[in-house]
Structure 1
């Protein structure tokens, strides 16, 4: 028989315990009435909520009577214990003839006596202050009791002691836990109140206990199992109760990371992060059981499979900050694992449009749990930074409300990558006519390269103060510094020099400098910078697929950043991977309304589906305070009138475009009511209206006239073309525009000419 405990594949031996995890198999318990469910109103929650960092909203479960959590005697001894005396690893509780575990006796290996029973009974008074209610659980080496503090209004507290006072390792870890707990003060780490002793008359010895805060809640392991049971009985058809929602798992991760960052700042590593050691309280997540805490590089550690790094890693490097990162990654993955097949957030279906955020979560987990510890996040702060970005992405996709924070990795840019859609057509549209490209045309690789932002300067780089100054050095100035061999050990100066070569049209020279920079960026945590510039260089050579691969590698390293996804979306769009481009553009735009290039990209992907209304809708979302608001309105007009996938505009689209072109709707030429740009855009709308045969009794009187008739359009277009002739740069261009005006004059119909 195989063990049915999570993550364990061991066999149950003749003693009734698993040979791998040393536990009995989990009982097939009937669903209980404990809090759980999907988190929807009326499904196991109180309706109240609490927030994680102001970006994740969590439901509050109803409080439970603490005494209801006291362990039943039948479930108190379901794990094999080891002797621990003088290094002995004998199994202390093989089953008796009746099948029950033996809780008293002698070690079969060294012959010493042992007792695994709780050493405190209900009603015992410890240190003349703490009245025992009963056992709550066991940690790795100690019993955990519920008690009342009779000196403080019978407040509930928790006492943690030893399973076996003769267990030298358990005693050492208990002392260590007490030492660490007394010096730690963080809301996400269990708080210690006291350290007391109690005389055990039966064993004739004094036992030590730690008095800790009582957390009204369940461990994340219990919460996960409760969620699984709730999924079977919930009955809700509009939600999936069989998994912890992605935003909840992210919220748990952020609070755990806050605790880990605090520990790491104290020069400590946790070493035994797993769902059993994390409590979900009323309004916070709390790390408990600090018996495994040590100073890095701790040797051996107290890690628990399957949340432990490899034995080879622990043997070579010991317990480190990055091993805690690994354990948390495995924990978060495990919490969401129940939903891999059934949850829409991780399954193939994407009804909420959040597949990009789910993939970002996967990327974060893959980096946190990389086999090579150098490939992992450098610490809790970096992991938290990227998980926070995933939360912002998820919030934007799920709720359609902007959820962003300034990027710590990329500098802001005001460049707009719009493929010309946001610009008023030049005079060559009429004087040198050609088959116009569809409005859905993606930007050229050079435009993508020039418009993407640059990474923020690494403050540790020798040239950081120079490059991060107020004056941005031009490309030739940077190349002058490189020619004078001023780069030295500055990878940032080399990377900026490579960009300068790209701006001056010399990608081969850029690649040569990037090879030099690679030698100065040995750490995996900085290689994303190299990947970003390699992606730009590939774009400069029109190798868009290679650029996409480079940007995807950057996204693997920085899964919570929006900029790599924008770069991937633009490359996918150029490669005609429309569905992928639309998902990525949507994720970036829903998250951050300052990244207007994503709005234009999303509009183009909708135009590629001949969805003119959808394109205009997303362009209308560009904020009024944006520098690109006018460009978005110009793009909306052109999205309505330009050909799309070879299909001409419809009369209704042209009538709508005419309304958008009015001076009170679209500001052009610095507010001048009849400036050159407005004249060209008006001429475009009138020409398309005439070409499509638009007529309407009620139309915009300024652009199309009201009523809009064919002869009326001819007169208006003739007037527009004569206005354009006055913009001409020379006589040839002027003559061409006058000729066009003459051709559309109404009176030409009298000679039999047909338009």
Structure 2
């Protein structure tokens, strides 16, 4: 680079070469040292390190890659480290099963956002289904919800390296991890030789050159890259249409672990056939004429495009810092990768090393590459993974489908925010939402990552399919929050809401039991022994359901949950307590048990008013645990909204109601709930917007429009500028099909407000403003005649004498004074 080396151990005449190292002492620049100017005028001003500069962090000997980060430790240079810039380490760690050692956590407690109604976080739940299932490909990248920019396929020949070398700072002995092949006394390090500590031979020289014909079929064009387990060569298959293929050999022929990995690949990777996983075509051998040995090579399909690391690294802010991917784009990548991992899990395989380096986007498709770490569940031998991505239990319990899902979540985190310290301070943890704006904005996304990276593998998602389902729900929510357009979808865990409470928008407090029993009911597990019996169960009342369940031929969890539901509907406190206690003893972490615990806390009345807040908090704690487990579901958020409303936390209730309603308007309870809390806060426009968002296809459309009319006018002072609201209410009522009684009742409410407004002098309306209400001009006389007519119609429709008399009296009071 031309700068003088200022290390004390250097002679003083050295300068920093283009590769970031001193040409005299061979070391990277000292940390914090400023280069001297060529004129000797003193230290040069600090600058941002560029490609080729040394890392200079402690004893690190890495260099800064094109993306601005050290290729050895993954950090940005110490002297120019931006306060919010991430780093992306890529070094693999191998943990031999025979010498696994326990790893300590980072010391940070996992911080979940506390329940919005103030309860603690003492509950957690697990999925009711275990194991992994194979999952089919979802379709084009983006799951039909997101448009991901396509990545064109480059010319493969253009990717061949002109001078393939393994940098000296990446050369280590495969046996004792001692640095080998390093510069000494100004002489470059040897790419081949023996470890001076243990004597193990090493070789970092490509074994194939341009023109080599491997296996009598694959003509080598050159090296594409080098990785943790071997050189990667580009070749042409001369026997099959001159197609492009990739040959992967061993980085170090003396590395027994690498050889074992290659053998493992040969044994089972040829069986892997999934559209999102690089295809293994063949396994061939080629003699090394220099050593007389025979080397093995895996032949894979060529995958053009860009890795997620390159895509993420190419995004920069105007000041040069990394610009994280949009959450929806990162989720789209994960949704494409999860079915591929689920496919591996269904075949008894684990991938082990999912990260941004090992996923390539080509056009509008995704491929998982680098199958070197794939192994069977019960394999012995070394386990390969990457610091910052690898799950904490790997060293003690080995890899599993749960540890693969952990790596997907960590990859999402790295892609979507500046995750500084993800391989150090946050190696097994996530920052708090207060530190990460994307977490604060998308709480469901944060909770999904928290569950997928739980220290206990049993509390993570039960399968790649389950994680994909929840991630899809989170994606729908994220997109709806961004543009306000609903993206409804049927839940696989919950049925639709049973009913909508308080559609009249009364001023009475919300009925806790009615609101709880109106929430969606968990769907019956089709694999349960009692599922068939429940499918045929026809019961008109809870008592009839209990009688039918008593005759069930086979006991099961689902039958017991159905009994519990019947006891809740009957408000049978003792039976509910007994059923919950039994389920909690046998299935304490089953999410359905926790869900019904929350329902019971709301349905069973508190013994005294003073204990009511504690019961609400207990319910909120249970629903919050279900939200943790299934962040893509609407039902737990709706339940938390009810709890917040009952607790008097209107702002929190409004946020949850809005979250549910904006994503799926089919949950009409969210619209009415949001309207209630908005009205309670004096936000009439907000209440009206919530109710008018109910779609016309909903069975509650008419009730919502009636509610919007009442929200506009009920409780309004006559001195308010009511003109526009009166016109809008008239238009909405004219578009509704109502029975005669309801039509006249609503007409009276509107006409009464209009009359009071006119008597107050029509505030907000000019003298010539033409305002018509239900087809009537806004003159006092005409409005009074209209009110009289509506009262008399109600009197005729009433079947009670007292009501008829009252309506006639009101009609007489409303009638204007006349000579007749």
TM-score normalised according to structure 1 size? 0.81
The worse-fitting range, judged by mean Cα deviation, of 51-60 and 364-373 is 51-60
Of 736, 742, 751, which residue of structure 2 is paired with 1:666? Answer: 736
Question: Distance in 1 between the 2:56 and 2:560 partners?
Answer: 54
Question: Distance in 2 between the 1:507 and 1:102 partners?
Answer: 80
Give per-residue Cα distances to partners, 1:295-340, cap 9 Å, x unaligned.
1144452122121122xx3355322111111122112112223279
Of 199, 204, 213, which residue of structure 1 is paired with 2:301? Answer: 213
Query: Contact conserved, 1:22 with 1:79, CA < 8 A, in 2?
Result: no
Q: Does 1:688 align with 2:688?
A: no
Query: Gaps (5+ residues) in structure 1?
Result: 30-48, 235-239, 422-435, 670-674, 751-755
Q: Does 1:274 align with 2:355?
A: yes
Of 474, 481, 490, which residue of structure 1 is paired with 2:556? Answer: 490
Could you tell me how far 1:266 is from its partner in structure 2? 1.0
Of 518, 528, 540, which residue of structure 1 is paired with 2:584? Answer: 518
Query: Contact conserved, 1:244 with 1:335, CA < 8 A, in 2?
Result: yes
Instruction: Please give the secondary structure, in 2, of the residue aligned with 1:549.
Output: helix
Q: Does 1:709 align with 2:783?
A: no
Q: Does 1:626 align with 2:698?
A: yes
Query: Contact conserved, 1:698 with 1:707, CA < 8 A, in 2?
Result: no
Aligned to 1:122: 210
Could you tell me how far 1:393 is from its partner in structure 2? 1.4
Cα 1:2–1:271, aligned 2, differ >3 Å: closer, same or farther? farther
Cα 1:11–1:340, aligned 2, differ >3 Å: closer, same or farther? closer
Question: Distance in 1 between the 2:171 and 2:559 partners?
Answer: 59
Q: How does 1:318-467 map to 2 (within 5 A)?
A: 318-338=398-418, 358-421=442-505, 437=507, 443-467=510-534
Question: Distance in 1 between the 2:780 and 2:774 partners?
Answer: 10
Instruction: Please give the secondary structure, in 1, of the residue aligned with 2:482.
Output: helix
Give per-residue Cα distances to partners, 1:27-68, cap 9 Å, x unaligned.
879xxxxxxxxxxxxxxxxxxx96332222210134434344
Could you tell me how far 1:119 is from its partner in structure 2? 1.2
Question: Distance in 2 between the 1:645 and 1:515 partners?
Answer: 53
The worse-fitting range, judged by mean Cα deviation, of 724-733 and 380-389 is 724-733
Instruction: Please give the secondary structure, in 1, of the residue aligned with 2:477.
Output: helix
Aligned to 1:502: 568
Could you tell me how far 1:498 is from its partner in structure 2? 2.7
Could you tell me how far 1:409 is from its partner in structure 2? 0.2
Query: Contact conserved, 1:589 with 1:596, CA < 8 A, in 2?
Result: yes
Query: Contact conserved, 2:439 with 2:446, CA < 8 A, in 1?
Result: no
Question: Distance in 2 between the 1:655 and 1:119 partners?
Answer: 83
Give per-residue Cα distances to partners, 1:360-390, cap 9 Å, x unaligned.
1111111111001111111111111111111
Cα 1:400–1:641, aligned 2, differ >3 Å: closer, same or farther? same
Question: Distance in 1 between the 2:771 and 2:74 partners?
Answer: 76
Could you tell me how far 1:245 is from its partner in structure 2? 0.8
Query: Contact conserved, 2:650 with 2:681, CA < 8 A, in 1?
Result: no
Instruction: Please give the secondary structure, in 2, of the residue aligned with 1:690.
Output: helix
Question: Distance in 2 between the 1:551 and 1:649 partners?
Answer: 43
Aligned to 2:339: 258
Question: Distance in 2 between the 1:326 and 1:706 partners?
Answer: 66
Question: Distance in 2 between the 1:732 and 1:557 partners?
Answer: 56
Aligned to 1:556: 628
Instruction: Please give the secondary structure, in 2, of the residue aligned with 1:156.
Output: strand
Q: Does 1:293 align with 2:374?
A: yes
Root-mean-square deviation (CA, aligned residues, Å) is: 3.8
TM-score normalised according to structure 2 size? 0.75
Cα 1:634–1:15, aligned 2, differ >3 Å: closer, same or farther? closer
Cα 1:96–1:288, aligned 2, differ >3 Å: closer, same or farther? farther
Cα 1:749–1:414, aligned 2, differ >3 Å: closer, same or farther? farther
Aligned to 2:709: 637
Aligned residues: 680
Cα 1:170–1:355, aligned 2, differ >3 Å: closer, same or farther? closer
Q: Does 1:575 align with 2:653?
A: no
Of 350, 372, 389, which residue of structure 2 is paired with 1:307? Answer: 389
Cα 1:349–1:258, aligned 2, differ >3 Å: closer, same or farther? closer
Cα 1:668–1:75, aligned 2, differ >3 Å: closer, same or farther? farther
Cα 1:392–1:537, aligned 2, differ >3 Å: closer, same or farther? same
Cα 1:691–1:339, aligned 2, differ >3 Å: closer, same or farther? farther
Instruction: Please give the secondary structure, in 2, of the residue aligned with 1:76.
Output: coil
Question: Distance in 2 between the 1:328 and 1:211 partners?
Answer: 26
Give per-residue Cα distances to partners, 1:252-306, cap 9 Å, x unaligned.
1111111101101111111122222222222222111212211114445212212
Question: Distance in 1 between the 2:449 and 2:780 partners?
Answer: 63
The worse-fitting range, judged by mean Cα deviation, of 385-394 and 395-404 is 395-404
Aligned to 1:726: 796
Query: Contact conserved, 1:494 with 1:516, CA < 8 A, in 2?
Result: no
Query: Contact conserved, 2:503 with 2:704, CA < 8 A, in 1?
Result: no
Cα 1:328–1:125, aligned 2, differ >3 Å: closer, same or farther? same
Query: Contact conserved, 2:718 with 2:757, CA < 8 A, in 1?
Result: no
Question: Distance in 2 between the 1:118 and 1:110 partners?
Answer: 23
Cα 1:414–1:744, aligned 2, differ >3 Å: closer, same or farther? same
Could you tell me how far 1:414 is from its partner in structure 2? 4.8
Aligned to 1:231: 317
Cα 1:442–1:554, aligned 2, differ >3 Å: closer, same or farther? farther
Query: Contact conserved, 1:698 with 1:708, CA < 8 A, in 2?
Result: no
Give per-residue Cα distances to partners, 1:3-35, cap 9 Å, x unaligned.
999xxx9975387699xx993667879xxxxxx
Of 231, 244, 253, which residue of structure 2 is paired with 1:165? Answer: 253
Aligned to 2:237: 149
Query: Gaps (5+ residues) in structure 2?
Result: 1-29, 33-48, 65-69, 79-138, 422-432, 606-611
